[in-house]
Structure 1
Amino acid sequence: MKILILGAGQVGASLAEHLSSEANDLTVVDIDRERLALLQDRFDLRTLVGDASTPGVLEAAGAADADLLVAVTRSDPANLVACKLAHSRFNVPRRVARLRNADFFADPSLFAPEHFAVSEALCPEQEVTDTIVRLVEFPRALQVLEFGGGRLTLVGVRAYEGGLLVGHPIREMRRHLPEDIDARIAALYRRDRPVPPTGETRIEVGDEVFFIAPSEHLPAVLRELRREEQPVRRVVVAGAGNIGARVAGALQRRCRVTVVEANRLRAEDVAAQLDDAMVLCGGASDEDVLDQANIGESDLFLALTNDDEDNILAASLAKRLGCRRVLALINRRVYADMVQGGPIDIALSPAEVSAGAFLAHVRQGDVVQVHRLRRGAAEALELVVHGDARTSKVVGRRIADLDLPAGASVAALVRAMDVPRVLEHSEADVETRYGEVIMAHHDTVIEAGDHVILFCTRKELVPKVVRLFQVAVGFL
């Protein structure tokens, strides 16, 4: 597939890294010659220096015969203009745009062909915000990911000394759960290496374990398999930029939120936007400022500034001053690998979170969700099955009979996604959800229309998995 990536920033570079390894013809356009040179040295791709929102540059980049354009520059207007030109002048079939301003999403008609002609619009800052909010709901989770329209949730946790499963084979998990609750371990990492999660695999202290379960059962599963956790009630947010302000706004009604922002004007603006949060003006790596924020009594510290070093320093200091758990946004992978698991509990890469959202719209086949795991080393994806036994390599076949590459596994599936199912938690708590959740077993048979959730321990496996689930050319 011939793909144009407009913008060589963090998101564009992350996309280029992952798409260049999947036999795509890539061209990256940016005004920064040095950024492009770095990408060209590392990956098999073409680069072009220029303004991606101009017709001449798009033509020189090969827009006339491109299959997909991904506009991820830091400028919303430039991304919108590029999509419009790609549609009206070069007839590019699919156009994905990064948009940071929430106003554009208030009126979806702006993305119609007669206006900006955006096939898919994504907001990376909102993707990161949603990820952080899910982590607040599960205090000890390393990652929390949803699939099947929210019907399934995958949670990564660290095995701790004295845990119910530590020292025991995975097959014993079943006896710790109530009869009406099903869950499975989708993946296991030990000392940064994947371990096949068979029934005989024994979990060790420090293992990174990924559970998947129906979303409504997940709290019960975690209660059974982990020690009881106190809910997050006090949160300190360092940095009131786009992500920090969004996170504070999302959490202010459920937690006591304090925002720390060094820029006085920005602090005043955010204070006016937030109804139920306190805003302090000062540096998050200043011990006196953190004392004012009652960091020693806080459950969670979120370092969300635009500077990796500031985030690492502030989060480490917050942990030393008594904060129960700390998270830092860190863009440089070498930093994230170095600090997570030490004083910093979670090192979250905004570029990796955003790249997952874009990859779902970039990859061939009916890919609904792509979630990056372990800072991009692994992926969990949701695919929709099409075809029949004649045109598909998976329809009508048992999971045990699928030709999956080593390191790839089916974790679960959701069937009949358009059929409502009523869940009665109590007489007063009735919920309607769509689709039937089926936890994967070796004899589970895949049907057309199923949403299949797969786990790939290495990102290199993803193209093979996607090809396996594609229908034959003759399928209509």
Structure 2
Amino acid sequence: MHVVIMGCGRVGAALAQHLSSRDHSVAIIDQNPEAFRRLGAEFEGQSITGVGFDRQILTEAGIARADAFAAVSSGDNSNIIAARVARELYNVKTVVARIYDSQRAIVYERLGIPTIATVRWTADRFLRYLLPDEQTPLWRDPTATVSLIEVPVDPTWIGRTVHGLEKATGARVAYLMRFGLGTLPTESTVLQDGDQVFMLVTDEIKASVRSVAATAVEGSD
């Protein structure tokens, strides 16, 4: 696949190197030619100096044949303008933009452009390590609406189905960790001793989901 990246900072350079190492075609754009030093001598893609939403620059980068476009410069406005140009003018199938302002990310998601709100995401990652007992989310969507959390379950749930847990909590089981391996459950999957349960929740129901899951199932005595 051919990927066009706008922004050759640490994130953009890492993306370009990773994609290139997997034999994907990559063109990376940055206004500062010195930024391309981050790519290293082994990078085999294109390095193009210019503005990432300039049509001539995008044409040089092969936007017309691009399978994906990533806008990861340091500016929110530049990222969203470039992402919209790639999506709306060149019909690139997969377009992702990095956004620092999580509130603005909500607007851009509604335009159909997936965004990564880096400040909120990074803060959540730090909190997971700094406050492990407070169970900060493993993942949160860019609009900060849905999060993925580990939910400890009462032993009385063992032998009962995932469907029963979902019905009782009102939340979706995203996956289980069983014997050290991730497992995608079905409604008929039976919970086993030692399973780690990860659920998708909103902030409004997070506390109640944990409470219900941690409570003994009625009639289990």
- What TM-score comes out, normalization by structure 1 length? 0.39
CA-to-aligned-CA distance 1:3-58 (integer Å, 9 cap, x gap): xxxxxxxxxxxxxxxxxxxxxxxxxxxxxxxxxxxxxxxxxxxxxxxxxxxxxxxx
Alignment of 1:358-373 (within 5 A): 358-361=126-129, 362-364=131-133, 370-373=138-141
Q: 1:251 to 1:446 in 2, by over 3 A?
A: same
Q: Contact 2:76/2:99 (CA < 8 Å) preserved in 1?
A: yes
2:54 to 255, 276, 286: 286
Structure of greater Rg: 1
Correspondent of 1:312 among 80, 83, 90: 80
Q: Say if 2:185 is the partner of 1:416.
A: no
The answer as to whether partners of 1:295 and 1:321 remain within 8 angstroms in 2 is no
> Would the alpha carbon gap of residues 470 and 322 (structure 1) be closer, same or farther in structure 2, given more than 3 Å must change?
same
| Partner-residue secondary structure (3-state), 1:252 | helix
Q: Which residue of 2 aligns with 1:446?
A: 191
If each structure's helix is expressed as a fraction of its own residues, which one has the higher value? 2
Q: Deviations over 1:406-437 (max 9, x none)?
A: 4x2334423332xxxxxxxxxxxxxxxx46x3
Per the TM alignment, residue 295 of structure 1 is displaced from its structure 2 partner at its CA by 1.4
* 3-state SS of 1:439 partner: coil
1:255-334 correspondence to structure 2 within 5 Å = 255-267=24-36, 269-325=37-93, 326-334=95-103
In the alignment, structure 1 residue 245 sits paired with structure 2 residue 8: no
The structure, 1 or 2, with the larger RCO (C-alpha pairs under 8 Å, 6+ apart) is 2
One-letter amino acid of the counterpart of residue 465, structure 1:
V
Match of 1:339 in 2: 108
Which residue in the other structure is 1:460 paired with?
204
The one-character-per-residue Cα deviations of 1:311-357 (angstroms, maximum 9, x if unpaired) are 11122223344251322111223422223353x53222123433443
Tell me the alpha carbon deviations over residues 284-315 of structure 1, each in whole angstroms, 9 at most, x when there is no partner.
12222112112122111111011100111122
Q: How many residues align?
A: 212
1:165 alignment partner in structure 2:
none
Q: Which amino acid aligns with 2:59?
A: D
Scaled by the length of structure 2, the TM-score of the pair is 0.78
Separation in structure 2 between the aligned mates of residue 291 and residue 401 of structure 1, nearest angstrom: 52
Task: Give the C-alpha shift of residue 438 in structure 1.
Answer: 5.9
- Distance (whole Å) between structure 1 residues aligned to residue 118 and residue 75 of structure 2: 12
**1:331 is matched by which residue type in structure 2?**
Y
Deviation of 1:451 (Å): 1.6
Q: Where does the alignment leave 5 or more consecutive residues of structure 1 unmatched?
A: 1-232, 418-433
Could you tell me which runs of 5 or more consecutive residues in structure 2 were left unpaired when the two chains were aligned.
217-221
Letter in 2 for 1:416: F
**Quick check: 2:3–2:27 contact (8 Å CA) kept in 1?**
yes
Report if the CA contact (8 A) 2:26-2:45 is conserved.
yes
